[in-house]
Amino acid sequence: MTRRLTLLGLALLVVPALVRGLWFYQGVYWRRSPVSTPEYASFTVPLPPLSTAEAPAARNASPGAHVLVDQSHANNFLAAELEPLLREVSAHGGQVEFLTSSDSGSLATRLAAATALVVAAPNAPFMRDEVQRIEAFVGRGGRVLVLTDPTRGSPQYDSYYSDTSTPLDDSSAANTLLAPFEITVADDYLYNLNENEGNFRNVLLTHFAASPLTADLGRVAFYAAHSIASPTGLALIYADENTLTSRTDRGGDLAAAVLAANERVLVIGDLTFLAPPYDHVADNARWISNLASFLLGGEPSRAPTDFPYIFSGPVVVQALGELEMSTDLITALSSLQSALDESGLALTISESPKATANRIVLATYADQEELSPFLGGFEIGLPGADGDPLGTGELQLPGWRTLDASAVGLMLVARNEGQTTLTLIGADASALIELISALATHDFSMCIGQEGIAACATGPADLASLDFAFADNDFTALDGGLP
């Protein structure tokens, strides 16, 4: 019985396998011809055109070129992504500095030392006072480069406990800065389905306006770019009819880079082209070199409120006429030394400094003959003597009525071929000490000024007495930063 059950079990195990094998078995396979395979050696991978970085060319950087990179507005980029551009700036003598939200110095303070500002992919709006500072900076000749990118937005959550979020595009934050310059960055991206750099959002641009910024450019590649509009600016780089905007799926002279504000503000709709390896695609390397030249060309005029950043090297104090370097005056100057120390600048006193030296000149209104070389271009009428257009004790500033010189001190900033001269003029040594104190403490609450000039109430005078002296609106009250 047991044997029979064992044989039956083996049969149930073997017979089904044998039947399946015989049913599906079709004999031994013999390959009669080789299996055809693709000719891999003949394949070519489509690659974008590459440009080779050129040796740094001679470039005339403005004296003391100082590029400030903003990272205080939730900027969505890494410093390494700007490395090709900032390396070009540094190679030609420019100084690069980053401003983060944790830094003690405000944007207004740091702009005083800068000649150019770079804002990349901001995700936090600019406050009104910041916009005013930047607008004044551009008005004085500073350069601003704004880089936006459709891929650099950040999620905005409806509430702390909510999982619902909406994307916040960097164009919204950038537009809070660009409104005074009549530039608008669209919340879109450009794309081209016919010709692109491997992806429909990687657009190749070949249309350029005539400008030093577009010199020697034949084609640049942008990797997702906003379109930019400006009724008064120059469309520096613009797309062909096959490049469309994602907002309307329409094309037609869409600008990807705009130059405005007397060629001092440049806005670009892409940031990725700066980062390796994209910086070597098409003519991007040459384009980046041109951008470095743009940043290095900024040379804003300086105001007394920019002290100590008006100087880029050692400073010499020179007293004119019969002014005596008293103990009180030297003590006041020591406070200026502390301010200059923060910028790494030395302060010395000399009766006859070199003609090329940066100087702080101290003088009274009585030193008219010695002051004459330092007043060129300011159109200032000093207190005159009998027979002069101005009577004794009267002071005339451009756009002002006649002032009482005994109640007013002047600060004048002049730059000439890299040399900066700050001239302080008062009725006497006590007035000069008040002017020095205002500089050292950066307290210009008693001053009114215009480009390169600050007039400060000294002695018993007050700001209202100066304000009453206006003949037009050329002068504005100073609050420590606005010239």
- Domain closes at, from 296, 327, 357: 296
Question: Does residue 220 share a domain with residue 90?
Answer: yes
Provide the phi-psi class of 132: left if phi over 0, else alpha when psi is between -120 and 50, else beta.
Answer: alpha
Q: What is the pLDDT of residue 360?
A: 92
| N-to-C CA span, the chain | 115
Q: What is the pLDDT of residue 96?
A: 93
Please state, for a pLDDT cut of 70, what percent of the chain lies above it: 83
Tell me: pLDDT of 473 over 60.
Answer: no
Question: Does residue 409 share a domain with residue 270?
Answer: no
Q: How many domains does the chain have?
A: 2
Tell me: pLDDT of 175 over 80.
Answer: yes
User: Looking at residue 263, which CATH number applies to its domain?
Assistant: 3.40.50.880
Averaged pLDDT, 295-313: 83
Averaged pLDDT, 292-319: 86
Report the 10 Å Cβ neighbour count for 281.
23
Any domain includes 482: no
Question: Does residue 472 share a domain with residue 370?
Answer: yes
User: Looking at residue 310, which CATH number applies to its domain?
Assistant: 3.30.379
96 beta partners: 67
Strand, helix or coil for residue 168: strand
Any domain includes 393: yes
Do the Cβ atoms of 284 and 221 come closer than 8 Å?
Answer: yes
Any domain includes 74: yes
- Domain closes at, from 267, 296, 325: 296
Question: Does residue 332 share a domain with residue 251?
Answer: no
pLDDT in tens, 42-74: 777 666 666 655 544 545 556 678 899 999 999
Question: Does residue 285 share a domain with residue 322?
Answer: no
Q: What is the pLDDT of residue 443?
A: 85
Q: What is the pLDDT of residue 62?
A: 62
Give the domain range for residue 351. Answer: 304-477
Question: Does residue 350 share a domain with residue 240?
Answer: no
- The residue among 145 and 461 whose pLDDT is bigger is 145
Q: How far apart are CA 221 and CA 271, in angstroms?
A: 11
Per-range mean pLDDT, top range of 101-110, 230-239, 357-366: 230-239
Q: How confident is the model at residue 136 (pLDDT cuts 50, 70, 90)?
A: confident
Any domain includes 162: no
Structure tokens at 348: 């010395």
The DSSP secondary-structure symbol of 58 reads P
Select from 374, 377, 444 the least CA-distant residue to 409. Answer: 444
Q: How far apart are CA 237 and CA 346, in angstroms?
A: 45
Q: How confident is the model at residue 395 (pLDDT cuts 50, 70, 90)?
A: confident
Q: How confident is the model at residue 301 (pLDDT cuts 50, 70, 90)?
A: confident
Any domain includes 46: no
Q: How far apart are CA 319 and CA 432, in angstroms?
A: 11
Give the CA radius of gyration of the chain: 34
Structure tokens at 67: 């590029």
Q: How confident is the model at residue 380 (pLDDT cuts 50, 70, 90)?
A: confident
Question: Does residue 392 share a domain with residue 463?
Answer: yes
pLDDT in tens, 207-263: 999 999 999 999 999 999 999 999 999 999 999 999 999 999 998 889 999 999 999
Question: Does residue 331 share a domain with residue 292?
Answer: no
- DSSP conformation letters of 228-255: EE-SSSEEEEE--TTEEETTTS-BSS-E
Question: Does residue 210 share a domain with residue 243?
Answer: yes
Q: What is the pLDDT of residue 164?
A: 52
Any domain includes 59: no
Residues 6+ apart with CB under 8 A from 262: none
Tell me: pLDDT of 105 over 80.
Answer: no
Tell me: pLDDT of 33 over 80.
Answer: no
Mean pLDDT, the chain, whole residue set: 82
Question: Does residue 259 share a domain with residue 112?
Answer: yes
Q: How far apart are CA 347 and CA 317, in angstroms?
A: 7
pLDDT in tens, 405-452: 888 899 999 887 768 899 999 989 999 999 999 998 888 888 887 778
- Domain closes at, from 296, 328, 346: 296
Averaged pLDDT, 103-111: 74
pLDDT in tens, 150-159: 998 765 545 4
Any domain includes 282: yes
Averaged pLDDT, 85-114: 84
Structure tokens at 102: 């944790």
Tell me: pLDDT of 326 over 50.
Answer: yes
Averaged pLDDT, 83-106: 86
Any domain includes 378: yes
Question: Does residue 390 share a domain with residue 253?
Answer: no
Tell me: pLDDT of 384 over 70.
Answer: no
CA dihedral for 416, 362, 109, 453, sign (positive or negative)? negative
Question: Does residue 241 share a domain with residue 312?
Answer: no
